[in-house]
Amino acid sequence: PESVVFVDDSPMELDEVKAAFPAMTCLLFPTKRAAKCVELLDELRSLFGKGTVQREDALRGASIRANAAMQTSAVGSADGAFVRGLEGCVTFDCRKDPSNQRIPELINKTNQFNLNGVRTSTGEWLKQIQDENSLVVGVSSADKFGPLGTIGALAGRRVKNELEVTSWVLSCRAFSRRIEDHMLDHVFQHHGISTVRLNFRRTERNEPLRRYLAGLGLELELEPGAGADVLLSPEQFYNQIGELPHRVRLQNE
């Protein structure tokens, strides 16, 4: 509901929808005042408009359709064999580029696979990437069903060989492809991290991430809104995941 804007010319209809879905934005369509129509269009533009169109925006519709095709093809297939058969490639980009707004956009819009639901402002993000000890990882993916664009991000701060992860998100378009496994593998293997400290907080919608952590042996029985630091070692991780399915490349390779 929080992703929907409902427009109607009936105040009664608006009240009924608002009562059923309190998180939904409900706007009155003015039938007799042209100036108010212009104001409504301005408000809709502010809700839906974007200052710039990124590559991922162009890919989104096609990748949603491709994901549906993938899910259909997966029916009746063994998960491991099917994912390996995707002929996938994941690409990691660790550049701290302030002009790359895709990563903060993912952090601010992703709900299901989201470490803690914490959002970031432009100023906070710029301050984070200017920290010489910060680590930012963006991940894009492509397979035989087509490119997904940048669909995952992980950010945190490194202290010696420990990485404190403050943000970790993955688009629902990338579910079932084991991209999350590749992200942790990249952190351990490419950055030489011996301990990952996850700043987890349970939200009303991040059950997919909590289930993923449980699959790694990290059970978190927390009430919504409660949080905890979760420690993960390479041994714990590799004892659970088995063989990774995709090819991996680094940006500019």
Determine the pLDDT at residue 50: 73
CB 170 within 8 A of CB 180: yes
Give CA–CA dist 119/98, Å, rounded. 17
Q: Taking 90 as the threshold, does the pLDDT of residue 249 lie above it? A: yes
Mean pLDDT within 130-134:
96
Mean pLDDT within 147-173:
95
Give CA–CA dist 107/166, Å, rounded. 10
Within 13 Å, how many C-alpha atoms sit on residue 41's CB side? 6
3-state secondary structure (DSSP) of residue 68: helix
Residue type, 25: T
Q: Residue 75: which pLDDT band, with cuts at 50, 70 and 90? A: low
Q: Taking 70 as the threshold, does the pLDDT of residue 8 lie above it? A: yes
Q: Taking 60 as the threshold, does the pLDDT of residue 253 lie above it? A: no
> Which is more confident, 63 or 24?
24
Mean pLDDT within 213-217:
95
Determine the pLDDT at residue 235: 97
**Smallest Cα–Cα separation from 185: which of 110, 246, 105?**
246
Q: What is the DSSP letter of 185?
A: H
3-state secondary structure (DSSP) of residue 114: strand
CB 192 within 8 A of CB 162: no
Determine the pLDDT at residue 39: 93
Determine the pLDDT at residue 2: 82
CB 107 within 8 A of CB 167: yes
The token pair that represents 191 in the structure block: 């950055």
* 15-29, 35-49, 131-145, 233-247: range with lowest mean pLDDT: 35-49
- What is the CA angle 41-44-46, rounded to 5? 110
Q: Are strands 5-8 and 247-250 parallel, antiparallel or unpaired?
A: unpaired
172-211: per-residue pLDDT in tens?
Answer: 989 889 999 999 999 999 999 999 999 999 999 999 999 9
Mean pLDDT within 221-232:
94
Q: Are strands 25-28 and 89-93 parallel, antiparallel or unpaired?
A: unpaired
Determine the pLDDT at residue 60: 72
Determine the pLDDT at residue 74: 63
The token pair that represents 233 in the structure block: 């070692």
Determine the pLDDT at residue 20: 94
CB count, 10 Å around CB of 55? 12
